[in-house]
A = this chain, B = another copy of it.
């Protein structure tokens, strides 16, 4: 991206990625808006209260095996030499001394019984069973609350619900749950060269706002994708002010230091620019600020820079605001098929295409011919991150590939 590289000169100082992220996260508070949702609409949402089990699971003492419910003391001393004979009562609700009652796995333990003899371990007739081995009190019995005790704490605020959690919540008798509302994000594409469709020469179709909005939804937020705003201070000011009701504002384009890069100035006027210029490549001309209490992320207009900054800054802010855990990206180890250069002191993000070969997984950096070419992202399936301390990776070196856009 030669033009970006050359323009670096416009930035007096480039903040490290970690510092920049920390400065932004420091001024961001989790919101406190909650809502009640039925469990089948709560997948992926963050729990907002401490959840304890209102009922135990199971809610009764149950047979843990198919067999016969007995009083354990009636089987005391049973062996092949000295088997014990018990009368069977198929339909009885209680087990009297000297009797046994047929039970299935999961069925209620009849009154009086305190153990279950497995069906495989008895000789049964219609009216009797012969027990060859003693069972202890509680053997093959599942007690009330064995899986989940009544009042047992299950989840703390901020736990992000998964399908198995929804099953557990239902099992204790819950149908609804209080979750944090999804954080709201105003996405404002800017640039007088942008159009929604049918570009004339000199015009470009707006795509950054679309991409960022889709990421917001995927990451658990609620995006409002605004109309394109021209490079005009008054229009930009109005657009930002309109979205101060959102949890987060994102602008795309106009974030650098050129003549038409007006957003940092507008933000400085309305609030504070915390960071302008970050030591990452691509994507260094990013700005981070706060207006009243709303964090504002000024993402660069080059599509790849925009995407990268969305992953590095928007995702963690959105997760923090929405009480959502910062989850892992899938990664894999791969061998580089080509040298991968980078500039020391800058964290470099390289799109790679991975393929399984006879020698294992190989990662090939995607060749980029133009500036900020989105098609390179379509070809790539992962990213290799070169830390600030390194001067690239050599051909044949083992690297970690991160998959940012993989789905469940």
Contact = CB atoms under 8 A, between A and B. Distances in A.
Nearest to A148: B375
Given A170-B210, A173-B199, 17 more contacts: A3-B65, A3-B140, A6-B65, A9-B120, A44-B407, A106-B204, A107-B202, A108-B202, A147-B374, A148-B373, A148-B374, A164-B405, A165-B377, A165-B378, A166-B214, A171-B303, A407-B408
Nearest to A194: B106
A152 B2 CA distance: 24
Interface centre among A120, A155, A170 (most CB of B within 10 A): A170
A40 B214 contact: yes
A214 B327 contact: no
A169 B62 CA distance: 58
Interface in A24-60: 39-40, 43-44, 57-60
Interface of A: 2-3, 6, 9, 39-40, 43-44, 57-60, 62, 64-66, 104-108, 118, 120, 140, 142, 146-148, 152, 154-155, 160, 162-168, 170-171, 173, 175, 193, 197-199, 201-202, 204-208, 210-215, 217-220, 225, 258-260, 303, 307, 327-332, 369-371, 373-375, 377-378, 403, 405-408
Contacts of A3: 64-65, 105, 140
Contact of A307 (B164, B218, B332): B164
A58 B207 CA distance: 13
A43 B204 CA distance: 22
Contact of A171 (B60, B162, B165, B207): B207
B210 A40 contact: yes
Contacts of A199: 59, 173
A281 to B, nearest CB: 17
A106 B3 CA distance: 11
Contacts of A154: 375, 378
B329 A43 contact: no
Contacts of A214: 40, 43, 163, 166
Contact of A163 (B59, B215, B403): B215
Question: Copy number in this complex?
Answer: 2
Contact of A202 (B62, B197, B225, B403): B62
A320 to B, nearest CB: 16
Contacts of A6: 65, 118, 120
B215 A406 contact: no
Contacts of A332: 328
A90 to B, nearest CB: 13
A142 B371 contact: yes
B40 A213 contact: yes
B142 A370 contact: yes
A256 to B, nearest CB: 9
B328 A201 contact: no
A242 B56 CA distance: 35
B373 A147 contact: yes
Given A62-B202, A108-B201, A170-B205, A164 B406 contact: no
A170 B212 CA distance: 13
Given A3-B64, A167-B211, A408-B407, A58 B330 contact: no
B40 A328 contact: no
A199 B204 CA distance: 61
A160 B406 CA distance: 9
25 contacts: A3-B105, A6-B120, A40-B210, A43-B214, A44-B407, A57-B375, A59-B201, A104-B260, A106-B193, A147-B369, A147-B373, A148-B374, A148-B375, A160-B407, A163-B212, A163-B215, A164-B303, A167-B210, A167-B303, A167-B374, A168-B378, A170-B210, A327-B403, A327-B407, A407-B408
